Structure 1
Amino acid sequence: MATGAQEAVLEPDLPIVDPHHHLWDRRTGVKDLPASGHGFVDILRQQPCYLFPELLADLQSGHNVRGTVYMECGAMYRAAGPQPLRTVGETEFVNGVAAMSASGIYGPVRACAGIVGHVDLRQGATIVEDVLRSHIAAGHGRFRGIRHSAAYDADAPNVLGPLAGRVPEGLYRDGSFREGFAVLHKLGLSFDAWLLEPQLPDLIDLARAFPDTTIVCDHVGTPLGIGAYKGRREERFATWRENIRTLAKCANVNVKLGGLAMPFCGFDWSYKNRPASSAELAVAWKPYIETCIEAFGARRAMFESNFPVDSYSCDYATLWNALKRTASGCTADEKIALFSGTAIRVYRLSLD
């Protein structure tokens, strides 16, 4: 968790649905991480355990968070049983957290009201459908879709750090991947896409090929500012903007506004040195967020926390202050859409 005195909460009554956070317990694996060298390693060392108590503390840190959507991160897979079904363990685990929150014992917030899990879509349509149906059953009405990351770069060790080497280049164009992807619409499920800014054309092609499947582009497409891209983030802004505008022409695509506090983006703040203020974050993030809102419109865009990953740069309350600052020019109706309405619609949430 980023350190420092907490800022006063801005617009404390504005309803928020956080559509993107994780839960994990990496304590047993921290000892095997390299000493340093990449910001994502620092995140895992800083926050090796982020479970319901840690999430709840953030949700109750001052903003009016009404509910959340859990985003897969490889947590709590089954240790045994058929390999394709092991990812169902994550949905089982998160549904338990959701049930705890829904009890009301921990306050009115409905954590993990929607669950986005993981299925390797390259396993063939029959296996993919079987595994997806198992996730749906395990979610007891909360399972909403999957994420299958395509984050790849030729300079992967320096850009992605411990996440390097997990997927091949061009995953979203792969025929076996698309065979599995076709099952999502059949089952009424959405798809979250995490990829890096140079890969946005792959997502555009995927969205055009499957116009009836709801797709969410995570983290504004992840602009890069480390590794081979160090010092080049502003240089690449025009290319990113052109791709975002093209992607927005696909009516089935929505965008998440956040993830910019991750180390991949190459901004200078980190919890190890000096956590950023919300004013500083808002100035840095505003060009990306405004571009996305202009391209997609408020009703296809949603603010996200991406916690605990984005705790790399600031605490939870500061992050939402920063996002509120970037939305200062929006109307009241646009703010409702950006901070809660789009998430409720896309993930089909009931927060009663």
Structure 2
Amino acid sequence: MTPHAPIREAWLALADEPVLDPAQPILDAHHHLWDRDESRYRSAEFVADVGTGHDVRASLYVQCRTGYRRSGPESLRPLGEVETILDWSAQTPHYPAGIVAFADLMRGSEVRDTLEALLALAPGRVRGIRNTTAFHPDPAVRSNPNPAPDGLLRSEAFRRGAAEVARAGLVLDVWAYQTQLHEVESLARALPDLTVVIDHCGGPLGVGPFSARTPADVTAWRRGVNALARLPNTRIKIGGFGLAVFGNTYHQRPLPPHSRQLAADWAPWVESCLEAFGPQRAMFESNFPVDKGMFSYVALWNAFKRLTRGASQADRDQLFWRTAAETYGLHFPACRAGTSDA
């Protein structure tokens, strides 16, 4: 059963706000597509959200076990996800411009065959790898219908697999809770040639044993983020505030939240990430459709725009598109008729 808040289009339609700074180019650095029993969110649905007013010119798809092959070698079945996404997005090649795929890094150095097959399948489109690694022993801390077992990030086999990701010229995305950030730091420190992108602000928790969100909890999260930021091969994605484990409950309110409220709520986390990593190593993400159960696409990007009102245009461009494009080696159409060069 999914731990995410259900998407209710009628509820989202109860709130409306104008798009702020509509000329600001955006690369959505993290979204998913799927067709599941409880929810359908394929390319058409994503493009509909993109079309609500913000200037989203490209996106990055991140694996979520969509469309695996049902036969053939187990190690090659994840190629079906890339095949599915390419098929769904055939008419919209910038959505996504790149794909973070799955390859089982617990196979160690043997994962090289999967990586080579992924790169051959979608040259220039497969830009990274992610595994399911977020773990906490408390059952209340759950962000995946199939939670990861403990110890993957600490495993020597996983480290050898991650080394193959670096050799293949790919990026490693890591979704880990704040209690695992020391494990991510150890991995990134051991593999300086590997670019490690920390998803969703480094997983600050607000449920289960963290539901009180004590100053000590926040300090521990910030300490983990700062330690990762000291390594030059790390980057961070800012977003994921609609994940249930963050402890936000916007979906329980009678009306969807306005971007003013979102910006106020998110400011401490966004500011800490930016203080640690700086705009040159941070990027904004939607995490749709996961986060869509709690707020709209318009409100999400409006909140990020409110939070960067005091930043220079160069820094805003880094956060909204350039860092993601540089990190993943993505083509970004940064200049359009009628807009200034980004």
Asked whether the two chains share a fold, i.e. TM above 0.5, the reply is yes
Instruction: Give the C-alpha shift of residue 350 in structure 1.
Output: 1.2
- Structure 1 CA distance for aligned equivalents of residues 129 and 214 of structure 2: 29
Q: Deviations over 1:328-350 (max 9, x none)?
A: 22111100000000011011111
Match of 2:85 among 88, 94, 99: 94
Shift of 1:235: 4.1
CA distance in structure 1 between the partners assigned to 2:215 and 2:17 by the alignment: 29
Q: Which aligned pairs between 1:259-338 and structure 2 lie closer than 5 A?
A: 259-270=240-251, 273-338=254-319
1:51 lines up with 2:33 in the alignment: no
Contact 2:15 2:255 (8 Å CA) reproduced:
no
Distance in 2, matches of 1:142 and 1:161, equals 27
**What code does the residue aligned with 2:251 have?**
S
Out of 109, 125, 129, the position equivalent to 1:142 is 125
One-letter code of the match for 1:132? L
Q: CA deviation at 1:168?
A: 2.1
Distance in 2 (CA, whole Å) between partners of 1:161 and 1:300 is 25
Q: Does the 8 A contact of 1:135 with 1:143 survive in 2?
A: yes
Secondary structure class of the residue paired with 2:140? helix
Q: Specify the SS of the correspondent of 1:267.
A: coil
Q: Tell me by how many angstroms 1:302 deviates.
A: 0.2
**3-state SS of 2:75 partner:** helix
CA contact (8 A) 2:143 2:245 kept: no
Q: Distance in 1 between matches of 2:253 and 2:327?
A: 36
Q: Secondary structure at the match of 1:236?
A: helix
Q: Are the aligned partners of 1:299 and 1:342 in contact in 2 as well (CA < 8 Å)?
A: yes
Q: Contact conserved, 1:224 with 1:233, CA < 8 A, in 2?
A: no
Taking the aligned partners of 2:187 and 2:61, their CA distance within structure 1 comes to 24
**In the alignment, what sits opposite 1:114?**
98
Distance across 1 between alignment mates of 2:145 and 2:181: 19
Aligned length: 323
Alignment partner of 1:176 is 2:160 = no
Shift of 1:173: 1.2
Q: Distance in 2 between matches of 1:141 and 1:272?
A: 43
Aligned-residue CA RMSD (Å): 1.5
CA 1:18/1:271 → structure 2, altered by over 3 Å: closer, same or farther? farther
Gaps of 5+ in 1: 31-47, 103-109
Counterpart mapping for 1:56-71 below 5 A:
56-71=47-62
2:106 and 2:127 map into 1 onto residues whose CA distance is 20
Given the superposition, is the C-alpha separation of residues 336 and 177 from structure 1 closer, same or farther in structure 2, using an over 3 Å criterion?
Answer: same
User: For residues 299 and 133 of structure 1, do their structure 2 counterparts lie closer, same or farther at Cα, with a shift above 3 Å needed?
Assistant: same
Compute the displacement of 1:200 (Å).
0.7
Partner of 1:345: 326
Among 6, 25, 38, which residue is 1:15 paired with? 25
- Cα deviation for residue 300 of structure 1 reads 0.3
Tell me, yes or no, if the aligned pair for 2:250 and 2:294 is still in contact at 8 Å.
yes
Partners of 2:113 and 2:330 in 1: CA distance: 24
> 2:216 and 2:248 mapped to 1: Cα distance?
14
Kindly indicate whether residue 137 of structure 2 is the aligned counterpart of residue 154 of structure 1. yes
Q: Which runs of 4+ in 1 moved over 4 A?
A: none
Deviation at residue 242 of structure 1 after TM alignment: 1.2
Separation in 2 of the partners of 1:56 and 1:322?
20
- Asked whether the equivalents of residues 271 and 314 of structure 1 are also in contact (C-alpha less than 8 Å), the reply is no
Change (3 A) 1:125 1:211: same
Distance 2:144 2:97 in 1: 29
The superposition leaves residues 58-115 of structure 1 with CA deviations (integer Å, 9 ceiling, x where unpaired) of 011100001000000000000111111101100111122343213xxxxxxx211000
What residue is the counterpart of 1:224 in the other structure? 205
**Structure 2 equivalent of residue 80 of structure 1:** 71
TM-score (normalised: structure 2): 0.91
Query: What is the SS of the residue equivalent to 1:101?
Result: coil
What secondary structure does 1:99 align onto?
coil
Q: By how many angstroms is 1:233 displaced?
A: 5.5
Note the C-alpha offset of 1:271.
Answer: 6.2
Does structure 2 conserve the Cα–Cα contact (< 8 Å) formed by 1:76 and 1:93?
yes
Query: Quick check: 260-269 or 299-308, which moved more?
Result: 260-269
Matched to 1:15, the amino acid is P
Quote the Cα distance in structure 1 between the aligned partners of 2:216 and 2:256.
Answer: 25
Alignment check: 8 A CA contact 1:76 1:90 kept: yes
User: Does the aligned pair in 2 maintain the 1:148–1:193 contact within 8 Å?
Assistant: yes
Other structure's SS at 1:260 match: coil
Question: Match for residue 337 of structure 2?
Answer: none
Question: What's the CA shift string for 1:101-151, capped at 9, x where partnerless?
Answer: 13xxxxxxx21100000111011312x010111111222321101011211
Give 1:234 deviation, angstroms: 4.8
